[in-house]
A = this chain, B = another copy of it.
Amino acid sequence: MKGAIVYKPDSKELAKDVAEFVNSNGFQAEIVDFDKNLERYDFIIVIGGDGTILRVLQSVKNCPPIFAVNTGRVGLLTHCEPHEYKSVLIEALSNFEVEEFMRLCCVVDDRELLALNEFAILCSTPAKLVEMNVYVDDVKVESLRCDGMLISTPVGSTAYALSTGGPIIDPYLNSILIVPVAPFKLGWKPWVVRDDRIVRLEFDRSVFIVADGQSKIEHEESVEIRKSNYPARFFRISDRLRRTVEKLKKIC
């Protein structure tokens, strides 16, 4: 069993410490680049923030379990802070309990994009409005002009969707959150639908489809987003709800 360690640029020293610590405690792990095939490893240790985790996830479909040491700002997806990583990491690797969290997928131009947090469908011209129709299983639930639309997972409800009027969703409640960005409309609401629903968007001008703030594709006309068969996997956090509440206080 062998793990990969990836780190964000400013966390190289900590990554080296972690590598040494892991390897001298009965586990195997090596520092690798983001472009390495990470699916081949048995686990991934991320030294960074949510952005680093999301970057890793863009390139893995069959996701090895991820453990993350937070060197970013909030780190909602991380397992611990740098000063406490030793005990938390050893316990995680020893027990090897894993949790899965749903991802969304979206096929654009024969390319399949995956998102753990959200797909942001954004007007490609700043400060211009795009007209959007939103369908849930072929029922048109919304029609409006806006800067964009977010299709988010429960985990993503504390990411971009938090900025646009979405609710906070229990990470263990499988569901899809739909919420507009800057809707030019008086009467609208976020929608939370069952995770087996298919969400389709139609738009009247070119948009960017942005997966987790990482990958960006320009596209026209319409797009379909649904639950992916490839969830993200993380080492289990037993009190995830409590940790989420604590982290949220940092963005108050």
Chain B residues with Cβ below 8 Å from A124 are 126
Q: Are B165 and A192 in contact (CB under 8 A)?
A: no
Q: Are B185 and A182 in contact (CB under 8 A)?
A: no
Q: Tell me the nearest residue of chain B to A240, going by C-beta.
A: B139
Please tell me the size bucket of the interface on A. Answer: 35 or more
Chain B residues with Cβ below 8 Å from A248 are 186
Q: Are B183 and A186 in contact (CB under 8 A)?
A: no
Does A32 lie at the interface of the complex (its beta carbon under 8 Å from any beta carbon of B)? no
Chain B residues with Cβ below 8 Å from A173 are 173, 175, 192-194
Q: How far apart sit A177 and B191, CA to CA, in the bound complex (Å)? A: 12
Option from B189, B194, B251 in Cβ contact (under 8 Å) with A167? B189
Does A8 lie at the interface of the complex (its beta carbon under 8 Å from any beta carbon of B)? no
Does A57 lie at the interface of the complex (its beta carbon under 8 Å from any beta carbon of B)? no
Does A89 lie at the interface of the complex (its beta carbon under 8 Å from any beta carbon of B)? no
Q: Are B216 and A126 in contact (CB under 8 A)?
A: yes
Chain B residues with Cβ below 8 Å from A187 are 185-188, 252
Does A96 lie at the interface of the complex (its beta carbon under 8 Å from any beta carbon of B)? no
Task: Annotate A42-80 by CB proximity to B: 1 below 8 A, 0 otherwise.
Answer: 000000000000000000000000000000000000000
Chain B residues with Cβ below 8 Å from A111 are none
Does A108 lie at the interface of the complex (its beta carbon under 8 Å from any beta carbon of B)? no
Closest Cβ–Cβ distance, residue A115 to chain B (whole Å): 11
Option from B165, B183, B191, B216 in Cβ contact (under 8 Å) with A168? B191
Q: Tell me the nearest residue of chain B to A209, going by C-beta.
A: B127
Q: Are B181 and A147 in contact (CB under 8 A)?
A: yes
Closest Cβ–Cβ distance, residue A128 to chain B (whole Å): 7
Q: How far apart sit A209 and B194, CA to CA, in the bound complex (Å)? A: 30
Q: Are A242 and B139 in contact (CB under 8 A)?
A: yes
Chain B residues with Cβ below 8 Å from A128 are 213
Q: Are A191 and B170 in contact (CB under 8 A)?
A: yes
Closest Cβ–Cβ distance, residue A14 to chain B (whole Å): 23
Instruction: Given A194-B172, A210-B127, A241-B141, check contact A189 B216 (CB 8 Å).
Output: no
Q: Tell me the nearest residue of chain B to A136, going by C-beta.
A: B241
Does A160 lie at the interface of the complex (its beta carbon under 8 Å from any beta carbon of B)? yes
Q: How far apart sit A188 and B249, CA to CA, in the bound complex (Å)? A: 10
Instruction: Given A126-B208, A241-B137, check contact A167 B182 (CB 8 Å).
Output: no
A residues engaging B (CB < 8 A)? 120, 122, 124, 126-128, 136-137, 139-141, 146-147, 160, 162-170, 172-173, 175, 177, 179, 181-194, 197, 208, 210, 213, 216, 239, 241-242, 245, 248, 251-252
